[in-house]
């Protein structure tokens, strides 16, 4: 049986995947300066400047399958550390970086595939992370359905420009869109701006979806209990996402938080 490499970033997802792999052969790798803080054996650390030696290490360890999990900050590249083999990949990565983060991720996946690795999504290891269409918690009323439809249009437009994967809409008005700081920052902004109820009393919704044409094996939107708590603090009526297009971290806790706060959770069919 080949080894699965978890390329771990920050957040809860890497630990969930490592736990799901259990006794099956696997290893954890993390970027220097971006620790995943996982318990257990020391991870294999790598630098982008020495990407080819890292790929060789994975091959030597018997890795056949790779899954990317968790958030990774764009590293500061030290040109003097780039080895002679990795330098051949620089034009590919530079060209992709000029097109946006999604293009960079697709290029990284392509490079791993060039080395013979099978790149899989987190749901290949934990299928329950990606629920099918349907209402997971609460009730979605007609006004909220309209807000979700509007938010879905906005997120599709954002994604086409490789900007973000989420938006908050209330009463048909866009209160915020997700940019580089992420979903938590967006919800914090909405909470700070909504001290005056306004919006004709509309509570609003959070909607998340992958970018159009995104490789869904990497960087899917993630939602967890903290997302529900922040949505409640922002006064929202609920959270919706594209069914099959988002990872739910700790679904049971999400449902419990949603019931406690009176929010709906809805996997909306695309």
Comparing 100-109, 173-182, 183-192, the range with the smallest average pLDDT is 100-109
Residues of the chain with pLDDT > 70, as a percent, come to 96
pLDDT of 199 higher than 50: no
- Same domain, yes or no, for 183 and 217? yes
Q: What is the pLDDT of residues 122-165, one digit of tens each?
A: 999 999 899 899 999 999 999 999 999 999 999 999 988 888 89
- Same domain, yes or no, for 264 and 146? yes
User: What residues make up the domain containing 253?
Assistant: 130-268
- Same domain, yes or no, for 137 and 36? no
Return the pLDDT at 214. 84
- Same domain, yes or no, for 16 and 53? yes
Domain end, chosen from 85, 108, 124, is at 124
- Same domain, yes or no, for 106 and 148? no
Report, as an integer, the average pLDDT of 236-253.
Answer: 94
Return the pLDDT at 246. 94
Report, as an integer, the average pLDDT of 237-247.
Answer: 95
- Same domain, yes or no, for 27 and 55? yes
What CATH number corresponds to the domain at position 163? 3.40.140.80
What CATH number corresponds to the domain at position 15? 3.40.50.20
Domain end, chosen from 98, 124, 150, is at 124
Return the pLDDT at 42. 80
pLDDT of 18 higher than 70: yes
Q: What is the pLDDT of residues 163-182, one digit of tens each?
A: 889 999 999 999 999 998 89
- Same domain, yes or no, for 162 and 259? yes
Domain count, the chain: 2
Residues near 114 by beta carbon (within 8 Å), at least 6 away in sequence: none
Domain end, chosen from 76, 92, 124, is at 124
- Same domain, yes or no, for 116 and 134? no
Work out the pLDDT band at 196, boundaries 50, 70, 90: low
Return the pLDDT at 104. 80
Report, as an integer, the average pLDDT of 19-24.
Answer: 91
pLDDT of 77 higher than 80: no
Return the pLDDT at 144. 96
């Amino acid at each position: 049986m080949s080894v699965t490499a978890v390329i771990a970033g920050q957040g809860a997802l890497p630990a969930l995947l490592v736990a799901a792999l259990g006794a099956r052969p696997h290893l954890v790798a993390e970027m220097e300066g971006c620790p995943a803080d996982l318990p257990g054996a020391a991870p294999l650390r790598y630098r982008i400047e020495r990407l080819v030696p890292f790929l060789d290490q994975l091959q030597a360890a018997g890795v056949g399958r790779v899954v990317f999990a968790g958030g990774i900050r764009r590293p500061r590249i030290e040109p003097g550390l780039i080895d002679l083999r990795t330098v051949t990949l620089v034009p590919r990565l530079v060209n992709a970086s000029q097109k946006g983060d999604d293009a960079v991720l697709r290029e990284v996946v392509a490079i791993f595939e060039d080395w013979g690795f099978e790149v899989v999504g987190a749901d290949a290891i934990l299928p329950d992370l990606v629920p099918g269409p349907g209402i997971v918690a609460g009730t979605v009323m007609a006004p909220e359905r309209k807000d979700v439809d509007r938010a879905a249009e906005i997120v599709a437009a954002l994604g086409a420009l490789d900007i973000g994967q989420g938006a908050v809409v209330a009463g048909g008005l866009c209160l915020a869109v997700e940019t580089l700081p992420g979903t938590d920052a967006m919800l914090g902004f909405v909470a700070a701006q909504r001290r005056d109820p306004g919006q004709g009393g509309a509570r609003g919704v959070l909607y998340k979806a992958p970018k159009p044409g995104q490789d869904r094996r990497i960087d899917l939107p993630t939602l967890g209990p903290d997302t529900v708590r922040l949505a409640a603090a922002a006064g929202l009526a609920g959270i919706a996402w594209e069914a099959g297009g988002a990872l739910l971290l700790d679904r049971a806790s999400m449902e419990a938080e949603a019931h406690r706060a009176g929010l709906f959770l809805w996997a909306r069919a695309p």
